[in-house]
Amino acid sequence: MTVKQISIFLENKPGQLAKASRTLAENGVNIATLSLADTTDFGIVRMIVDDHEKGYEVLSKAGFTVRQTEVVMVKVADRPGGMAELMEKLDTAGVDIEYAYAYALGSGDTAILIFRFDDNAKAEAALAS
């Protein structure tokens, strides 16, 4: 399934991520998972929150540069080979992964991954097959 992800453009200055997290906290927005991608000059925080509309709004108001992107949430069997099978399906369909990160969730026999594909619809179709 596709979900909305919020990305924030951050300068590599101390306190930036703290400020963003505090803004969400003060507005009662809960972060389900996040990934931090960075270069030497700037970072991009990508996160899945419980209320992405509100999260987007409060961060924009606080002066952050924010984007909403559709990403794909995929369940993977939590056993050796689970990931390989998934990747093979995508490979066969000719889908490129732009980035991926794991969703933190309680224990169980499945893991959840967040993907951004070059073509989300095509990837979803491949995964459903």
Partner 1 sequence: MNVVELRKMQLEKLQELIPYEYERVPLFRRRCDEKGVKPRDLVTLKDLGKFPFMIKTDLRDEYPYGLTAAPMKDIVRFHCSSGTTGKPICIPSTKNDVDIWSEGTARCLAMYGITKDDVLQVSYGYGLFTGGLGAHYGGEMLGCAVLPTGAGNTEKQIMLMKDLGVTAIACTPSYFLHLADVAEKMGVDFRRDTKLKHGIFGAEPWTEEIRRRIETMSGITAHDIYGLTEIAGPGVAGNCPYCNGLHIWEDHFYPEIIDPDTLEVLPDGEQGELVFTTLDRRGTPMVRYRTRDISRLQTEPCQCGRTMRIMDRIHARTDDMLIIHGVNVFPSQIETGLMKVPEVAPHYQIYLESTDTLDHFEIRVEVVSEAFSDNIRHLEELRKRVLVAVKTIIGLTPKITLVAPGTLPRSEGKIKRVIDNRRK
Position among 56, 64, 115, 117 found at the interface with partner 1 (CB under 8 A): 64
Contact between 3 and partner 1 (CB under 8 A)? no
Nearer to partner 1, 46 or 86 (CB): 46
Stretch that binds partner 1, among 23-31, 62-70, 79-87, 104-112 (CB under 8 A): 62-70
Three-state SS at 78: coil
Contact 78, 39 (CB under 8 A): no
Q: Read off the tokens for 79.
A: 């056993």
Chain center to CA of 77: 19
**Min separation Cβ 2 and partner 1, Å:** 15
Nearer residue to partner 1 within complex by CB, 84 or 102: 102
Q: Are the C-beta atoms of 90 and 127 separated by less than 8 Å?
A: yes
